[in-house]
Chains A and B, each alone.
Chain A
Amino acid sequence: MTEVNGQTVKQDEARKAILSSIRAHLATSAPFDADWREHHGYASEGVAVWEPIRMAMSSAALAHVFCANLESVGGHCTVVADETEAAKQVGKIIDQLDPRRIAISNSELIGRLVERNAAVEIVENAHAEYLFDCDLGVTSAQWAIAETGTLVLESDRESHRLTSLVPPVHLCVLRAADIRQTLGEILELASRDLSRTVTFITGASRTSDIELTLAIGVHGPGELHVIVIAD
């Protein structure tokens, strides 16, 4: 509903007009519907059976499939045994990138894994303006999809919408136990307590808008590193 009075009235009019137009036109169509469905061989009450195939897989196998699919879209993936190993791997990636400023999300896991030292400035839950000056964003992910190599970020459980997006490199830490095989399973899990924003991330930001030539890192991160903790 719009704020101004005149607008509200007009809005109500528009809503009623659209709904009655929908109903009137559907009624016009009704006498033709049965013949048309018969002509195409469509069942009148559509019953389409389609179910994705799922195989029972261990979390180690799922981690393996996830990494392979993530790497096929240009992501970098490492599986580590535990948090101690994960912290070492985080340190290694930070050393390689040599960032001036790192943005981290409010995840407790990430807080534990990123080592504080004087050489690098680390900002937790940074403001948007500040994020534009960060060289690396570190977040965790709530779930992952093995069949597509996709990270799933739920906004109600962590503030990572912009940290995973604005800096040119995104480093994400994930537990193997949170990997599922299919998109369908993840949709089911996410819908149980639907976050205000659920973001799926599959690889680095990309475009083919110029002569269909692939270019990486157009608006989002040009590099995506994922560390999977196996335990």
Chain B
Amino acid sequence: MHLTSETFDQNARDALRDPVLHGALRNLADNFVERRRAAIASVDDWEGLREKARVIKEQTLCHLDRYLLQFVENAEKAGVKFHWARDGKEACGIVLNLLKKRGAKHVVKSKSMATEEIHLNAALEAEGIEPVETDLGEWIIQLAGETPSHIVVPAIHKTKAQIADLFVDKVGIEKTDDVDVLTRTARNILRQRFAEAEVGISGVNFGVAETGTIVILENEGNIRLTTGLPKTHIAVMGIEKIIPKFADLDVFLKLLPRSGTGQRLTAYQSIITGVKRNVTDEGPDEIHIVLMDNGRSRMLAHPVTRQSLACIRCGACLNACPVYQQVGGHAYGSVYPGPIGAVITPQLIGISKAKQLPYASSLCGACREVCPVKIDIPELLLHLRAEITDGTAGGAESNPQRKRKFTESLAFRMYGFAWSGPVSYGLGIKAARLMQKLVVRDGRIGKVSGFVAKLLPPLGAWTAWRDAPAVAERSFREQWRDGLGNNSQWSVVSGQ
């Protein structure tokens, strides 16, 4: 069963009760956070590097039309064929059309978030073409019929025992708890698939405008096989993947592996500029790039939301996030989980379908600290929350928050009056102490419901998610007035 973003609250509550998931997530936090820390220490000026990356991305996005056209022109010169897709459906249609025309039955795929985003596999399967995921983690979740729960390690939510059971069930191996045996099993089965594949489908990490080059990073070697063995290579890329210059790779190839897996470089980088020149050369006969918008160009409409398009999909914000660490990736109900998912998903699928996601954060800022391209994710979360409460997002549907406007502003006016001077403050405290009797349990204001919530809707909404301490029976000022200041302990201190 696949969860949706609409029910994040319930998904998260269910995830919190899953001990297996917690073990996996603790492992992730312990491992990746530490590895990243060690890896970034090998760069002389990490902060300078991040700032450079931010500037490159910002400048590219501000002139994206120009850089996209430059990229396309240069890659076309090198023999690449381009296809433009306004949305996921169009992108799937283009890929399907290419496969059908080539009569392709055997298709291998390397890990690509863009193809996950548009559910390409389901679209191909519906037409009788079975795309085989070849990244080990992706293959595992494909066998299990699940979705990825992490951008970099898609099967992080599964234990090796679960994976072993899956392999026993689906590919008929003997039960084992040896990771090397499981890995070798995958290697042997997928080698067959590589050998017979007519088409390889990949994603893209960077598209270089200056040269028309695509760059793809990996550790396993399946991307090299996917882009090197079959006759046809199809790459699906979002329009935001562009960087202007080949030399800019110096910046991004330093940032991405260190942030993602804590490596100085991943095992392999494939830097591909067009198709082969002679028939006897190695590599595919044809390369097709599907350039996909699918909600991305919309994000250019404001400097805050535009930052979302700078993301290089390293996953560092997931690993650092206290919310992700507790609930895992599936709770977000989107292929993009964690802090970056909480800001990208509502923008991609429409904020009305993911209203809870911008609230799936304590705004602690850990994501902003680790982001290699300095995306201010808390700022984005607040921006999206503001869109939700202003009712400027999600079209004309009814917005419950809107109706609260009058009582909410009344409450804030009363609050403002109470804090405007010592007399009104004293009165305010007395009033609050009286009124809170309706809602205080064990010295705290917990979830307010019933007629009080109806009376004061903001109180109901606020306390639905957090407790507030009750106003004390006697305030400090009152205690002071009644002689706390004459206490001997305090006199000694003040007497010095």
A residues contacting B by CB (< 8 A) are 1-3, 7, 11, 14-15, 17-19, 21-23, 25-26, 28-29, 32-33, 36-37, 40, 42, 46-50, 52-53, 69, 73, 128-129, 132, 147-148, 150, 155-156, 159, 161-162, 165-166, 183-184, 187-188, 190-191, 194-213, 215, 217-221
Contacts A26-B64, A202-B263 given; 8 further ones with Cβ under 8 A?
A: A18-B293, A28-B302, A32-B302, A161-B283, A199-B271, A210-B137, A210-B160, A211-B159
Cα distance A52–B229 in the bound complex, in angstroms:
36
Q: Are B250 and A52 in contact (CB under 8 A)?
A: yes
Least CB distance, B380 to chain A, in whole angstroms? 12
B residues contacting A by CB (< 8 A) are 24, 27-28, 31-32, 44-45, 48-49, 51-52, 54-56, 58-59, 62, 64-65, 68-69, 78, 81-86, 90, 94, 97, 101, 134-137, 140, 153-156, 158-160, 163, 179-180, 182-184, 186-187, 190-191, 195, 211, 213, 219-222, 224-225, 228-229, 239, 246-247, 249-251, 253-254, 261, 263-277, 281-283, 291, 293, 297-304, 306, 376
Least CB distance, B324 to chain A, in whole angstroms? 15
- Say yes or no: A159-B281 contact (C-beta < 8 A), given A25-B301, A48-B48, A165-B228: yes
Query: Which of chain A's residues have a CB closer than 8 A to the CB of B300?
Result: 22, 25-26, 28-29
Least CB distance, B5 to chain A, in whole angstroms? 23
Q: Are A21 and B376 in contact (CB under 8 A)?
A: no
Q: Are B27 and A196 in contact (CB under 8 A)?
A: no
Subset of 7 A-B contacts with CB under 8 Å = A11-B84, A15-B84, A22-B297, A25-B297, A49-B48, A197-B228, A219-B190
Query: Which of chain A's residues have a CB closer than 8 A to the CB of B273?
Result: 194-198
Q: Are A2 and B224 in contact (CB under 8 A)?
A: no
Query: Which of chain A's residues have a CB closer than 8 A to the CB of B239?
Result: 18, 22
Least CB distance, B65 to chain A, in whole angstroms? 5
Query: Which of chain A's residues have a CB closer than 8 A to the CB of B376?
Result: 40
- Say yes or no: A155-B281 contact (C-beta < 8 A), given A199-B268, A220-B224: yes
8 Å CB contact of A212 from B28, B83, B154, B211: B28
Cα distance A28–B220 in the bound complex, in angstroms:
43
Least CB distance, B381 to chain A, in whole angstroms? 16
10 nearest A-B pairs in the assembled complex, by CB-CB distance: A220-B221, A46-B55, A209-B137, A219-B221, A36-B303, A48-B52, A25-B301, A200-B269, A25-B300, A215-B183
Cα distance A161–B239 in the bound complex, in angstroms:
28
Cα distance A187–B304 in the bound complex, in angstroms:
32
